[in-house]
Each structure stands twice: as C-alpha cells, then as structure tokens.
Amino acid sequence: MASLITCPHCGVRPKEEFSIRGDASPVRPAPTATDDAWNAYVFLRDNPKGRIIEHWHHTSGCRRWLVVERDNAASHEVYSVIDVRGYAKEAAR
C-alpha cells in the first residue's frame, strides 16, 4: 500500500505527488545578522531521528507549500500537515 498524505487543499493523496524540500525548523536570521549566523543557517543542519517538521511541495497537485510533521525513523507516520502560511502565522505569535 502506498503512503498517503492528507493535503489541506486536495485531500488524501499518494506521497509520490509531493517533493520534500527540507527542515522547516530553522529560523532565518535578520538581514543584519553576522556572517557566522548566515553560514550556520544556510549550511549547518542537524539530522535528527524521530518526529520532525519539513517543508513539502505538492508538485503534482495544488502546488502549495506545506509543513509536514512526521516520524523519519521507523514508522514514517504523518502527524500533521498544514499550509505553510498557517505555520508562519503560528510561528509569529
């Protein structure tokens, strides 16, 4: 059975319709941040196991950017999927 992801715009879709674009947890530094801060933001990433949040793009569907919370270790269970705009609004609070 194929892995399924529930897109908030298109409903339940096979994971092959999506592209993973990377970790959604880093916070972009201010434009005036130091070179070291920008270097860390662009090039240094953790590779944790377990429950993570990632940017996904629904390339074969609505073409929206989504934030997917899932287990990347064993089960690959998807816990939540939200539109990136909703995620940005929550982060701004």
Query: What is the CATH number for 90?
Result: 3.30.2270.10
pTM: 0.80
In the DSSP assignment, the letter for residue 62 is T
The burial class, CB within 10 Å (0-12 / 13-18 / 19+), for 43 is exposed
Structural domain includes residue 4: yes
pLDDT tens, residue order, the chain (93 aa): 468 999 999 999 999 999 999 888 888 899 999 999 999 999 998 888 999 999 999 999 999 999 999 998 888 899 999 999 877 767 666
> At which residue do the structure tokens 């992801």 appear?
5
Structural domain includes residue 80: yes
Structural domain includes residue 75: yes
Looking at the structure of the chain, the number of domains it has is 1
CA distance 34 to 55: 25
Structural domain includes residue 31: no
Structural domain includes residue 83: yes
Give the structural domain span for 1. 1-24+49-93
Structural domain includes residue 56: yes
